Homo-oligomer: A and B are copies of this chain.
Amino acid sequence: MNLRIPGPTPCPPEVLAAMSRPMVDHRGPEMAALILRTAPRLKSAFQTKNDVLIVTTSGTGGLESAVVNTLSPGDHVLSVSIGNFGERLAQIATAFGAVVTKLPFENGRAADPERVADALRADPALKAVLITHNETSTGVTNPLEALAAAVRPSGALVIVDAVSSLSSIPVKVDAWGLDVVVSGSQKGWMLPPGLAFVALSERAWEASKTATMPRFYFDLAKTRDAQAKGQTPWTPALSIYFALDVALDMLEAEGWEQVYARHQVCADLTRAGVKRLGLELLADQRFASNTVTAVKAPQGMDVSLLRKTLREQHGVVVGGGQAELTGKIFRIGHLGLVQEDDIKATLDALEAALPVAGFRPAVATV
């Protein structure tokens, strides 16, 4: 199968092999060595000098940890949402009692730093801004550096969902002044789902001291203190830690800059190929994501039938639309373990499958 959804992504054979290693004592010397060897290597990907914490949960759990460790019920929070995952982050903050002001942008558009700055000026009580770096549901990458710069004068914390960007698209956590940044193992990391990675700035740790949202499993201070000793507060998903060690070897051997460049190449190839077939992208081209491309379904095209045909006739799995975009778009993932040949095969399959789903491709040569 050519798994071309925006996560879970395909895993290299070496990573899958590590997943099948026998269990060890999670409090013993092998695991302590693994944690102390692995966690510091995450800093390069996060471009931070601070600890990157590993939590046994999915990306959504990582986002919950970001919110509940830094905020208190009643805190004013600005939700800068450009799609489904932006909404989810706002829902988390609301569930834990934050007073959330929504600043939504149309599907396919990036957030506008000017409007973020305006919203912050309108409510000086805003304590934090929730930003999705890469919106998996629409294939848009926000201009995170500019957005963070727009927040900075207000003093609000910048809480970032980088689940589907970090490790595939540069995220300069320290240089851009990001306070909490979350990624997830099943995206660019070439790992199965089950671990979230969370980095906190000094300011975020300071905020955590007075943040009163209740937390136990997701108490990151406990994780930080344990991780410093090669431990975890609760039993971790050992297998994915084993695999992380191997995936980091591979990503580091390639080099992070080359990893980002490869994602750029595959994304460019995807976008050009889709457009050559006569299809339109959902994303504003200036902010099109290097990890996922959302393609508009032309009038009369059956997205379900397209996905079924791709899967059953061509062994290519693409994503559908989420929420109100269901049936209106399909999404091609190009992150993690991805090479140009995977994209070419996807485009060939797409060209063959489109007529079955009611659309005649514009050009036969891909």
| Residues in chain A within 8 A of chain B (CB atoms) | 1, 3, 5, 7-11, 16-17, 19-28, 56-61, 64, 91-92, 95-97, 184, 186, 192-194, 213-219, 233-240, 311, 317, 319-320
- The answer to whether B317 touches A64 (Cβ under 8 A) is no
Residues of B within 8 A of A213 (CB): 214
The answer to whether B60 touches A234, judged by C-beta atoms less than 8 angstroms apart, is yes
A26 touches B217 (CB 8 A): no
10 contacts between A and B (CB under 8 A): A8-B23, A8-B235, A10-B23, A11-B22, A19-B19, A23-B192, A95-B216, A95-B219, A194-B240, A237-B237
Check A58/B194 contact, CB under 8 A, given A3-B23, A5-B25, A21-B16.
no
**Listed residue (A8, A16, A311) with the most chain B CB atoms within 10 angstroms of its CB:** A8
Collect the chain B residues with CB atoms within 8 Å of residue A97's CB.
214
Contacts of A214 in B (CB 8 A): 95-97, 213-214
Please tell me if the beta carbons of B234 and A59 are within 8 angstroms of each other in the complex.
Answer: yes
| Cα distance, A244 to B214, chains bound together (Å) | 32
Q: Does the CB pair A193–B235 fall under 8 Å?
A: yes
Q: In the complex, what residues of B have CB within 8 A of residue A218's CB?
A: 217
Q: Which of B9, B217, B317 contacts A61 (CB under 8 A)? A: B217
Min Cβ gap A195→B in Å is 9
A60's partner among B7, B23, B235, B320 (CB-CB below 8 A) is: B235
Contacts of A317 in B (CB 8 A): 24-25, 28
Given contacts A60-B234, A92-B217, A239-B239, 16 further A-B contacts (CB under 8 A): A1-B24, A8-B23, A9-B23, A17-B20, A23-B186, A24-B317, A27-B320, A56-B58, A58-B217, A59-B234, A60-B216, A64-B217, A96-B216, A184-B235, A192-B238, A237-B237
Q: Which single residue of chain B is at the shortest CB-CB distance from A187?
A: B235
State which of B59, B91, B236, B320 has its C-beta within 8 Å of the C-beta of A58.
B236
A234, B58: Cβ atoms closer than 8 Å: yes
A319 to chain B: which residues have CB within 8 Å?
25, 27
Closest-CB distance, A81 to chain B (whole angstroms): 16
Which residues of chain B are near A5, meaning CB under 8 Å?
A: 25, 27
A237 and B1 contacting across the interface, CB-CB below 8 Å: no
CB distance from A281 to the nearest CB of B (A): 22
Bound: A237/B236 CA distance, A: 12
- Cβ of A193: which chain B residues have Cβ within 8 Å of it? 26, 56, 235-238
Given A194-B237, A236-B193, A238-B193, does the pair A60, B20 have CB atoms closer than 8 Å? no
| Closest B residue to A237 using CB positions | B194
Give the Cβ gap from A10 to chain B, nearest Cβ, in Å: 6
Residues from chain B with a CB closer than 8 A to the CB of A192 are 23, 237-239
CB of A106 to closest CB in B, whole Å: 25
Give complex CA distance A10, B215 in Å.
31
